[in-house]
Copies of this chain bind each other. A is one copy, B any other.
Amino acid sequence: MKTQSENFLSANETEIEDLGNGLKRQMLGYNLELMAVKIWFDKGAEGYTHKHRHSQVSYVVEGEFHFTIDGVMKVMKPGDSCMIPPYAEHGAVCPTGGILIDTFSPAREDFIKD
């Protein structure tokens, strides 16, 4: 497994993976302790409720998200962010279509394909 991305990553030269269900993901920079990814949500797409050991911060680049953390739902707009503590249940619905930057510590090793 690759334990670190290149130091510089160009948006135009990095694969955008179709995850199905209206979601797409592009890897940004990472090493084993920190990872950032960009997620596109089609209008109405949902990131289903799940949880994991990793701390996560999500930042809204575009669109409106109905984000739920441990049963509390907030409407998030561009510029808003959220902190998802380890093992907190979380999920999001995007009624408008939109883009998130999701960051994790440690890295989501399950996202590394190489």
- A interface, CB within 8 angstroms of B: 4-12, 28-31, 33-36, 38, 55-59, 61, 67, 69-70, 72, 74, 76-85, 88, 101, 103-106
Asked if B36 contacts A59 (CB within 8 A), the reply is: yes
Interface of A is mostly: strand
Query: What B residues does A79 contact at CB under 8 A?
Result: 11-12, 38
Quick check: A6 and B83 within 8 Å, CB to CB?
yes
Give the distance in Å from the alpha carbon of A95 to the alpha carbon of B30 in the complex.
26
C-alpha spacing A101/B76, complex, angstroms: 17
Whether the Cβ atoms of B83 and A57 lie closer than 8 Å is: no
- Chain B residues with CB under 8 A of A31: 55, 83, 85
Q: Knowing that A4-B83, A7-B82 touch, tell me 8 more A-B residue pairs with CB under 8 angstroms.
A: A9-B81, A12-B79, A29-B57, A29-B83, A29-B84, A34-B103, A36-B57, A36-B103
